[in-house]
Amino acid sequence: MNHGIVLLAGLAAIGWVNWYFFLAKRGPVVLARTDQSGRQEVRIVVHGGYDPATVEARAGVPLRLVFDRQETSSCSEEIVVPAFGIRQFLPAFQKTAIDLPGASPGTYDFTCGMSMLHGTIKVR
Amino acid sequence: MAVRSRSSANTESPDQGTAGSLKKVTIPVSGMSCAACQGRVQRALEQEPGVETANVNLMLGNATVLYNPAISTPEHLVETVRGTGYGAQLPSANQSAVADQEAQDRAQQDEFLEYRRKAGVSLLVAGLAMLFSMPLMMANATVSGKSPADPFMAWTMRHLNPPLMDTLPWLYHLNSTLLLYVLLAMTVTIMVWAGRHFYIRAFAAFRHHSADMNTLIAVGTGAAFIYSIIATFYPRLFLDSGIAPDVYYEAIVTIIGLVLVGNALEARAKRQTSIAVRTLITLQPDSARVLRDQAELDLPIDQITSGDIVVVRPGERVPVDGVITRGESAVDESMITGESFPVMKSQGSHVVGGTINRTGSFQLVATDLGADSTLQRIVRLMREAQGTRAPIQRLADRISAVFVPVVISVAIATFVAWYFFDTQAPVVRGFAASVAVLIIACPCAMGLAVPTAVMVATGRGAQWGILIKGGEALERAQAVTTVVLDKTGTITEGRPAVTEVVVLDPEYHAERLLALAASVESRSEHPLADAIVVYARSKAIPLFEPASFESHTGGGTSGRVDGQEIAIGSAAFLERRGVSVQSAALPVSVGSEQQTMVYLAIEGKLAGTLSVADPIRDTSRDAITRLTRMGLDLVMLSGDHRRTAEAIAHAVGISRVVAGVLPEGKTDEVKRLQSSGEVVAMVGDGINDAPALAQADVGIAMGTGTDIAMEAADVTLMRSDLRGVPLAIHLSRRTMRTMKQNLFWAFAYNVVGIPVAAGVLYPVFGITLSPVLASAAMALSSFSVVGNSLRLRRLHAG
């Protein structure tokens, strides 16, 4: 009896861990604002992850990502946007702007320096 | 103003300067969307006391303010802008590469000091906790009749108990409940004070559906804490099942202490990986002596403007990039180019900020300042290089992305397996094994394996005057099979020079021939013509103004000088003009294969010849020998005729020559080699052969230390020394080996460590791993990877 409960609880826990970290929905998609000069901008809070973690932007329009790092954890001290060859140190409790050129439609990832925190830019 | 790269972080230096006693500051302003917003911010700033002028730029999103520093401050101005409802920040957020590096250094230093302090206190408390837990373990062992299930605790009890009973017998007479509460209080204190960030960061990551190193520590110690709380307050639950109610308090404190030791070691080692960049930054002097209104003023470096005349004395560092206008000196450029001998500089020479003036005094006119200066460009390039990802890291990235949830799953499975298969203490052992799995798993070692090697290698390269564009360039350079070398300016100096003048008509003497030849050639733009003019000037021979001049493409030039008809050019050119060249009796040395012959006719009669050669650099032969010894195939490309090209190639030891190549033909040659399966490195001057450099798998540009085409090539040699090429390839090979070792150890550590922690060795060997030992292993794993990368700092040339 006990064995059965432990087995079921174990399987359920494993299932939940994998669902939560890999499959569960991660916050809303945020659309980048376009200012009068035509540049898109979005603010991303860095605190144990990226909020919003998914940003939507228009194709062919320069995009500024303003990372607002609200922690000192070294895990998030760098931001990497591999498709644009960017790796940038983010000072703690400061905003750091990353300028991207107008991109073609597609999905571009951004991660922390060790590829453990993830975010996505969806360009349409 | 800084040059903006195609896509870049916002790292321009703040535009700060002075005008008289006024100061200028550029403040980034956010949130402005129309001209009305712009006007509002501008008016607010203009009404601010002390503000002379304010210029708000909507497109750039900033306000440039000229203000009186005695009345206002940048902080005040930022507040004024914020008061209008728009966002503003101090320009320091807009950092230069140098400031960026300094900020990162400070953060890493603070991090190291904090970790070190917390680790020290935690380990001290852990020692005390270990002492206090001895009597408890003994009491539990007596009640249950079994020694602790955790192997580390069993070991400490066996070895520490007897001496402790002798030295501190009173400890064993204390009330065990009191001891438990003391241990609990110590543990909570350490968890809250020293380990708080693990839990806060783990929770923050959890909210974002992500998990990292902190998650593993938090879950591992958190689970051990809950288990111990139950054992403290409800020991019956354990005793009724025949299990000793052991607590893990001392283990939690030790784990936190050891993980912090690992963090501290890692933070310090990470700091050392960027030591080369830091060294470059310290080269920049803070002030310069400037000539203004005939007076010498000591001004801070950020107040120097382009065009200022700067005075540099012997022994001083050159404060800014510039061109010497007066004086001469030997300048030590080793910190920039790796060249160990001082270089003579005189009027017209370019000097680089950060180099050391050794012998004489000189004045220079400041040219490239701030973000455009050579030093800042190198620092920026190095920071960008250190930020790139080597392709070899992709596998590690893919594993890192799923690592922590998978480890948590393995920990749960471990508990279930122990519960099913262990007959003696399934819950206790299963629990300890699960915690050990969580604690031993170390994603950081994998994450650090490649980037630390790239950082150290690019830094080591910079010390040799070799700038490498990043991880990918390093990885490609180690795979190179063929090195293609452009002849002119790479193997040779790239500056043709007259080596011999032969008089064939006894009516003239050499000076007269040179005077006539140089006078005609002074109108031509051909490099050979330039060589003749330079040679004549070096001999202080006065030139005439030609009465007429004609350039004959591909042949030579002709003109009338000092009343005489002159024709100068190739043998074929003179033959076409009816001058007999073949019959000329030239000395044996003339026209040797490495030289180009120029014939001179006066009044339709051959009068003499000039030999022009592009001298081979002293270091080229040695470099080529090294490349050959490294097993690389070498090909020399040259626009010269086959005979000259082959002579040069033979002189330096290259057997494959492609002669008569036009600039666009170089790209085709690289393509041809690539299509036959070769991995090609192309070495050129980075200016004329940029397309070929781009086509090659690795483009290596030879700079002169001052005129650097750094952004164009994968590898830039800061001085004109071909030996940088074998050195760069040697460095890339060693770096690749280091990366592979790091990845192997990081993977192997987890692949072996996690199953051992889970207890796979127990059924056969009876070995289990205590969570405390697991935390010690984890603390060392990241450090060992970074330490291995740091060995590249000691890599020797050769």
pLDDT in tens, B748-766: 888 899 999 999 998 888 8
B6 closest CB neighbour out of A82, A101, A117:
A101
* Alpha-carbon distances of B206 from B221, B396, B401, B614, rounded to whole Å: 16, 22, 14, 67
Three-class DSSP category at B725: helix
Residue B93 pLDDT more than 50?
no
Residue to substitute from A1, A3, A14, A39, interface B, most B β-carbons within 10 A: A14
CA atoms of B308 and B295, how far apart (whole Å):
12
B416 closest CB neighbour out of A7, A72, A91:
A7
Which band of pLDDT confidence, cut at 50, 70 and 90, is reported for residue B573? Answer: confident
CB contact under 8 A, A86 and B8: yes
CB contact under 8 A, B209 and A24: yes
Which band of pLDDT confidence, cut at 50, 70 and 90, is reported for residue B388? Answer: low
Backbone angles phi, psi at B85, to 5 degrees: 100, 0
Which band of pLDDT confidence, cut at 50, 70 and 90, is reported for residue B585? Answer: low
pLDDT at B399: 81
The answer to whether B219 and B123 have CB atoms below 8 angstroms apart is: no
The answer to whether B656 and B669 have CB atoms below 8 angstroms apart is: no
Mean pLDDT of chain B: 83
Residue B337 pLDDT more than 60?
yes
Contacts of B386 in chain A (CB under 8 A): 87
The pLDDT of B123-141, averaged and rounded, is: 86
Contacts of residue B600, Cβ cutoff 8 Å, sequence gap at least 6: B513, B516, B517, B566, B567, B568, B606, B607, B608, B609, B610
Half-sphere exposure (Cβ direction) of B290: Cα atoms closer than 13 Å: 21
Residue A1 pLDDT more than 60?
no
Q: Which contiguous run of DSSP H or E holds residue B68? A: none
3-state secondary structure B83-102: HCCCEECCHHHCCCHHHHHH
Q: Tokens 């030093």: give the residue.
A: B375
The pLDDT of B636-642, averaged and rounded, is: 82
pLDDT at B172: 85
Amino acid at B518: A
- The sign one gets for the Cα dihedral B46, A66, A40, B95 is positive
Extract the tokens encoding B773: 């030992």
Give A72 to chain B, closest Cα distance, Å.
9
Q: Does B211 touch chain A (CB under 8 A)?
A: yes
Widest CA span of chain A, in angstroms? Answer: 68
Report field, pTM of the whole predicted structure over 0.80: no
pLDDT at B601: 93
pLDDT at A67: 93
CA atoms of B617 and B353, how far apart (whole Å):
27
Extract the tokens encoding B16: 């700060």
Amino acid at B494: G
Give B464 to chain A, closest Cα distance, Å.
24
Give A48 to chain B, closest Cα distance, Å.
4
Contacts of B32 in chain A (CB under 8 A): 35
Give the nearest chain B residue to A65 (CA atoms).
B9
Residue to substitute from B277, B412, B431, interface A, most A β-carbons within 10 A: B412
Top mean pLDDT of B12-26, B100-114, B482-496, B587-601 is at: B482-496
Amino acid at B103: A
pLDDT at B441: 86
CB < 8 Å from A in window 72-111 of B: 89, 93, 100, 103-104, 107, 111
CA atoms of B389 and B454, how far apart (whole Å):
8
Half-sphere exposure (Cβ direction) of A124: Cα atoms closer than 13 Å: 7
The pLDDT of B220-245, averaged and rounded, is: 84
Give the nearest chain A residue to B37 (CA atoms).
A36
Q: Nearest 5°: CA angle at B374, between B369 and B375?
A: 95
CB contact under 8 A, A100 and B214: no
CB contact under 8 A, B420 and A7: yes
CB < 8 Å from B in window 76-95 of A: 77-78, 80, 82, 84-89, 91-92, 94-95
Extract the tokens encoding B718: 């800061």
pLDDT in tens, B257-268: 988 888 888 778
> What percentage of chain B exceeds 90 in pLDDT?
27
Annotated active-site residue B486? The verdict is: yes
> What percentage of chain B exceeds 70 in pLDDT?
89
DSSP B303: G
The pLDDT of B536-564, averaged and rounded, is: 87
CA B559 to chain centre: 55
For residue A8, with 0-12 CB atoms within 10 Å meaning exposed, 13-18 middle and 19 or more buried, which class applies?
exposed
Closest CA relative to residue B380, chosen from A93, A89, A76, A74: A89
Neighbours of B621 (CB within 10 A): 16
pLDDT at B414: 95
The pLDDT of B606-632, averaged and rounded, is: 91
pLDDT at B20: 46
Q: Long-range contacts of range B688-692, CB-CB < 8 Å, 24 or more positions apart?
A: B688/B486, B688/B489, B688/B663, B689/B486, B689/B663, B691/B663, B691/B664, B691/B666, B691/B667, B692/B484, B692/B486, B692/B663, B692/B666, B692/B667
Q: Which contiguous run of DSSP H or E holds residue B274? A: none
Q: Does B201 touch chain A (CB under 8 A)?
A: yes
Contacts of residue B780, Cβ cutoff 8 Å, sequence gap at least 6: B262
Q: Does A8 touch chain B (CB under 8 A)?
A: no
Q: Where are the beta strands (DSSP E) in B409-562?
A: 466-468, 482-486, 497-503, 548-552, 556-561
pLDDT at B783: 81
pLDDT in tens, B234-256: 888 877 766 677 788 988 998 89
CB contact under 8 A, A75 and B59: no
Which of B687-726 are b and which e, b meaning 16 or more Cβ less than 10 Å from the residue's Cβ?
A: ebbbbbbebbbbbbbbbebbebbbebbbbbbbbbbbbbbb
CB < 8 Å from A in window 400-459 of B: 400-405, 408-409, 412-413, 415-416, 419-420, 443-444, 447-448, 451
CB contact under 8 A, A49 and B207: yes
Sheet containing strand B295-300, edge to edge, reads: B295-300, B287-292, B309-312, B362-366, B322-327, B350-351
Look up the ipTM and state it: 0.75
pLDDT at B519: 92
Extract the tokens encoding B354: 């950060």
Residue B7 pLDDT more than 50?
no
Contacts of B451 in chain A (CB under 8 A): 113
pLDDT at B707: 47
Q: Does A53 touch chain B (CB under 8 A)?
A: yes
Active-site residue (options: B212, B486, B640, B721): B486
DSSP for B238-268? HHTTT------HHHHHHHHHHHHHHHHHHHH
Which band of pLDDT confidence, cut at 50, 70 and 90, is reported for residue B13? Answer: very low
Contacts of A6 in chain B (CB under 8 A): 415-416, 419-420
The answer to whether B419 and B433 have CB atoms below 8 angstroms apart is: no
3-state secondary structure B526-552: CHHHHHHHHHHHHCCCCCCCCCEEEEE
A21 closest CB neighbour out of B201, B203, B211:
B211
Residue B58 pLDDT more than 90?
no
β-pairing verdict for A78-81 and A106-112: antiparallel
Give the nearest chain B residue to A18 (CA atoms).
B405
B204 closest CB neighbour out of A27, A49, A88:
A49
CB < 8 Å from B in window 16-45 of A: 17-18, 20-22, 24, 26-27, 35-37, 41
Residue B19 pLDDT more than 50?
no
pLDDT in tens, B768-797: 887 878 888 877 888 888 889 999 988 887
pLDDT at B146: 67
Which band of pLDDT confidence, cut at 50, 70 and 90, is reported for residue B95? Answer: very low
Q: Does A118 touch chain B (CB under 8 A)?
A: yes
Residue to substitute from B90, B212, B393, B415, interface A, most A β-carbons within 10 A: B212
Q: Where are the alpha helices (DSSP H) in B292-347?
A: 334-337
Residue to substitute from B12, B209, B408, interface A, most A β-carbons within 10 A: B209
Residue A38 pLDDT more than 80?
no
Q: Does A106 touch chain B (CB under 8 A)?
A: no
> Is pLDDT larger for residue B738 or for residue B261?
B738
Question: Of B428-432, B605-609, B633-637, B777-781, which range is least confident?
Answer: B777-781
Mean pLDDT of chain A: 86
CA B106, B107, B112, B113: dihedral to nearest 10 degrees? 70
CB contact under 8 A, B9 and A7: no
pLDDT in tens, A50-103: 989 899 999 888 899 999 998 877 778 888 887 777 778 888 888 888 888 888
